[in-house]
Structure 1
Amino acid sequence: MNQFKLFGNLSRWNTQSKADFMMLIVTMLWGSSYLFMQMGLDSLQAFNLIALRFGIAFILAGLIFYKRLIRIDFKTLFYGFILGTILFLVISVVTIGLKFTTISNTGFLFSLSVIFVPLLLALFFKIKPEKKVIYGVTIAFIGIALLTLNGELKINSGDYLIILGAIFYAVQIIVTDKLTKNVDSITLGIIQLGVTGAWGLLFSLFIEKPHLPSTTKSWIAIMALSILCSAIGFIGQAVAQKHTTATHTGLIFSMEPVFAAIFAFIFVGETLPGKGYIGAILILVGVLAAEFNFKNPFMRKRFNKTVDSSEA
């Protein structure tokens, strides 16, 4: 009986490990998205870019998983509308903000969503933040100042928008965690893509003059954003979060700015000033401090639970 308990615990650990690994791949893809968005914005306006990115992703994912869409129920459709609307807010402010700041700044500031998750949980669900979250916020705040403040002690408008996008994404992480448990996660992810693209098209029609990309560079950016960063990325997130927690998602997502900075350096030669690197490191340290339990690491806790159950 004890052996069955042991294998049951290992099975659950393996399921969560696979989900966490999937989130790591998704995070790497998202780290590249800022580069592709900046490439796409050279010839497309913000909402036009969003409409194409998520519209194409929705069509491709829908063709692959059409059997799931045929069986869709109202609950999944409604949940997809909610998540797609929140995602549209996230992508809109980040896409617009990227016009006025750097890829590296965007990656590190957007990672603050990891800190905003426990803060929002405390605000709306009365879950008191742990001391490590308070320490993490303090460290990250100092990092933000070093990364973004210029000689006049001002933060540019692009950085403000990225921070707002991080707040919206924290909401999206929490809501996704709540909604993916009782519906088909792949179908939910597909509907989310379609709703986001529909909102982008609607705003583009009223505010911009939508058109197809006119250069090879723009098409590469759109297809990479659609297939890698959207279709695989957001459906992968929905599937992974069905088998892992919002806290785990946030911790893994903290690696995104590292990937973003690497892509920015390799492909466009983007670097930060000296204080910017210090600020970026402090933001990453703050994010990790807010998420990781250094006294009781995840693996040690899992191991202890396994041993206890095997000895019971």
Structure 2
Amino acid sequence: MTEQFKGNLMLLIASLIWGSAFVAQSAGMEFVGPFTYNMSRSFIGLLVLIPVTIFFRKRRTKYHPLSEEKRRLLNKNSLIGGIFCGLVLSIASNLQQVGLSSTTAGKAGFITALYIVIVPVIGLLLGKKVTKLIWFCVFTAITGFYLLCIKEGFAIGKGDILCLLGAFTFSAHILVIDHFSTGYTDGVMISCVQFAVVGLMSMLLTILFETPSFAAIWEAKLQILYSGILSSGVAYTLQILGQRTTNPAIAPLIMSMESVFAVFFGWLILHETMTLREMLGCIIVFIAVVLAQLPTSKMTEHEE
């Protein structure tokens, strides 16, 4: 199993978790506001990641001890990376969450999925090479998302604009992770710091714009725990670790599978049905993701 395949698999598992968390997120919003929800799930994710960070640090100290200079450099880089990732993610997740309150899920899903186009375009501007096949897969995936998510007229409203801004910010988050995860950093520590920042930023927004209630949070405890432990704690850590060895143009395509899994779990748990159009969209997205992995896989085999 190549390192690239491991990275792709981590991102696919993260997408599956995010897709399943859609059910918890929808149910949790019945009790609390968007900022309160993001604050709660982020702090839960932080609590999960603190012992994980300590475990991996002790393991590294035992089997791969570092000099004092390298240890300080690792901690410094990871702290800076976590702060930047957290700032960008807090903006992206809260824009999306607020946008969802005033637009349809189908529109929000399609608009947010535009990050699979934005990432390679930004990467191209930054001097990264993007193959013709990747561009073909990008537009194929967009077609699939359109069939999967759009069910009514496409008008631009306040929620649509917020989700579009969120898509641009999610694109920036992917590129920021790509920058820091490939350097001399600790991926788990980055994730830990990231959610501390998201939690604090969301808490500030909660205090300013909402009236948080412990009783309401308690009502949504199961949904928040699920999102906090799996979606925030596990999935975003897998994203950081997975992006170490995955092409930044392919990473968003794999992570865009979140919407496909969301439809599946919506059908499985919420008993929502898929039309022929939606099933066709799922198939097209799967094809795009599989094709997107071919060029780098062949390159890896050649290099070996």
Q: TM-score range by the shorter chain?
A: 0.7 to 0.9
| Between 62-71 and 13-22, the greater mean CA deviation after superposition | 62-71
Could you say which residue in structure 2 is the equivalent of 1:29?
17
Shift of 1:30: 0.9
1:59 paired residue among 47, 50, 55: 47
Alignment of 1:36-185 (within 5 A): 36-66=24-54, 68=57, 73-103=75-105, 105-123=107-125, 125-127=126-128, 129-132=130-133, 134-135=135-136, 147-148=149-150, 150-151=152-153, 153-180=154-181, 181-185=183-187
Shift of 1:258: 1.1
Could you say which residue in structure 1 is the equivalent of 2:292?
292
TM-score by length of 1: 0.78
Could you say which residue in structure 2 is the equivalent of 1:200?
202
| Between 232-241 and 62-71, the greater mean CA deviation after superposition | 62-71
Conserved 8 A contact 1:80-1:188: yes
Could you say which residue in structure 1 is the equivalent of 2:67?
none
Unaligned runs of 5+ in 2: 59-70
- Partner Cα distance (2:230, 2:259) in 1: 17
- Partner Cα distance (1:157, 1:136) in 2: 30
Structure number with greater Rg is 1
- Partner Cα distance (1:258, 1:197) in 2: 27
Secondary structure at 1:154 match in 2: coil
What is the alpha-carbon root mean square deviation over aligned residues? 3.2
Could you say which residue in structure 1 is the equivalent of 2:5?
17
1:258 and 2:260 matched: yes
- Partner Cα distance (1:231, 1:223) in 2: 10
Distance 1:143 1:15, change over 3 A: closer
Distance 1:198 1:274, change over 3 A: same
- Partner Cα distance (1:305, 1:128) in 2: 18
Query: How far does the alpha carbon of each residue in 1:211-255 deviate from its partner, in whole angstroms, 9 at most, with x for none?
Result: 235376611110001100001111222122223332342232132
**What is the percent sequence identity of the aligned residues?**
25
Conserved 8 A contact 2:88-2:173: yes
Conserved 8 A contact 2:41-2:228: yes
